[in-house]
Structure 1
Amino acid sequence: MFSKCKTCSKFFEIKFEENIVDFTIKIQWLQWTNNNGRSEKEESEGTVKSCVQHLSSLIQQYLSHVFIKRAQSSLFEELKEITDDKKVLPQVDYAENFAMDQQDAIQPAYWNTRMLSIFTAHAWCGANNYSFALVSDNVTHDKCCVAVCLNNIITKLKQYLPDLEEIVFFSDGAASLFKQRYLLQNTTRMMVEHTLKLS
């Protein structure tokens, strides 16, 4: 997947580039680009050669992404298989913020819509599974909110599973929410507070 071995280092050239009949033909292709923080589909135009060169520049990043995604997915499936009343695997994430609309609201109410956030979790616990949806009017999704939500989930899981020893949290890996130093410090605090192994 990283094109480092002798077998695969020229794989793109052998399987793809060598099968192209004419590099000079003009073509059009669509591609997702990031413009000012927004993803947009743009149409590009050029020769087959320029398109292949562009694709070749993206292939390494794509292969690395696919490898990491498959490794994470494989680990997640393995962990699900070994869960029980002592070891639990919750998958956690924030849902999109929801607008609190009223069906028959007056027009100015449109500009004063209140928002709420939902922190979702599903915990695999062997034969039993538990789902959580923690609703809050705090829509910041910051480290403090995440810590409160995780603490709430841990407390509930301990009530449901008195023999609980270990919790392995899985998330989408957002750096601002889950992969940052404050949450790691809070995790060590929660381990002591709840006498659990957390990761």
Structure 2
Amino acid sequence: MRMSVALETVLARAGLKVTAAEFLTLVEDAARRLAPPHPDPGAYFSSDQREALTEVGVDLTPRSDTDPDPRARAVATQAVLRDTALTVTEAAARLNVDASRVRHRIAAGRLMGWKDRGGWRLPAWQFADGRLLPGVEVVLPAFPPDQPPLVVAAFMTTPQEDLPLGERQATPREWLLAGGDPERVARLASVLGSPA
């Protein structure tokens, strides 16, 4: 009971409109969707690939029970992304358009969304002050089609070296809100997931 109150306090401070029980269900669901808890990284590669990776210093040792679980941050991020996402109806109200227009924009790749229980969910990062994020219709088509919404959201909300804003690096979202060139963000987005 005490943990539930503490969790609800944290969720409220973060602006998440979800109960502790609902949030924990989201976390459990996200954890199930991720990789197994103790993967053997070497099992994903052929013996030649394992040898080559080991030669360049890649550690393919399986995680032990005492190692920190890297999935925890991903699970929490996924739960927040899902909880803050808008339904088609909410997005339509925010944009002051009919719900069919929102679904049309999703189909045309001019809005990002994913199918969830109960319908489409649209990540909140692509909206600002009752409108679409400026330049989002230029940026979204540039993302490689294999990039999931969680990766796209992380990119759009993480400072990028190539997007200076004053004395600091801006996130793509901040860059677009400040009137930055969407083509610059689109170029960065187009190589997301590509080998360096």
TM-score, normalised with respect to structure 2? 0.26
Which structure has more helix as a fraction of its residues? Answer: 2
The structure whose Rg is larger is: 1
Which structure has more strand as a fraction of its residues? Answer: 1
